[in-house]
Amino acid sequence: MDENNQEQENFTINMTCQFCWQLATSDYVCTNSTNCMTVSCPRQRYNATCTVRDHIHCLGNRVFPKMLYCNWTGGYKWSTALALSITLGGFGADRFYLGQWREGLGKLFSFGGLGIWTLIDVLLIGVGYVGPADGSLYI
């Protein structure tokens, strides 16, 4: 239908010409793995079957296989990181705990950025923005 609610035979679709497997990760949904090890396996991958969302236009098969990385944890607890940030954040204990020793040294020798860096880190760790240095997830 056009602007005047008249039927039209032709229509135009603007789209980027790319294959379905080249789309951004937000444009398709993949199956989750049931055989991933969750502790200390940072580079483990699994075969997933991905399906393109209905409103996305692409070339090729709309269902395709893809190798995805497993979610894993290195054993870091969010509650411990937050408690360290609140109590000993001025000395960089939270950053040392998360494996970010360079930032920990910076906080240690600047007394937590005179308190400002400590307050910002409490907020960033509290919302989950700052995580373990190895790329793992919190327990």
pLDDT per position as a tens digit, 57-109: 888 899 999 988 877 777 889 999 999 999 999 999 999 999 999 999 999 99
Over range 119-127, report the average pLDDT: 93
In a domain, 100, yes or no: yes
Are 66 and 96 members of one domain?
Answer: no
- Residue 64 has phi, psi (to 5 degrees) of -145, 155
Give the chain's domain count: 2
What does the DSSP assignment read for 103-119? HHHHHHHTHHHHTHHHH
In a domain, 51, yes or no: yes
Cα distances from 56 to residues 52, 78, 92, 101, in angstroms, run 7, 37, 46, 43
Over range 109-124, report the average pLDDT: 92
Quick: pLDDT tens for 16-57.
788 988 888 899 999 887 777 666 566 778 888 999 999 888
Look up the domain containing 111 and give its range. Answer: 78-127
**Between 132 and 38, residue with greater pLDDT:** 132
Are 59 and 11 members of one domain?
Answer: yes
Are 58 and 13 members of one domain?
Answer: yes
Are 56 and 109 members of one domain?
Answer: no
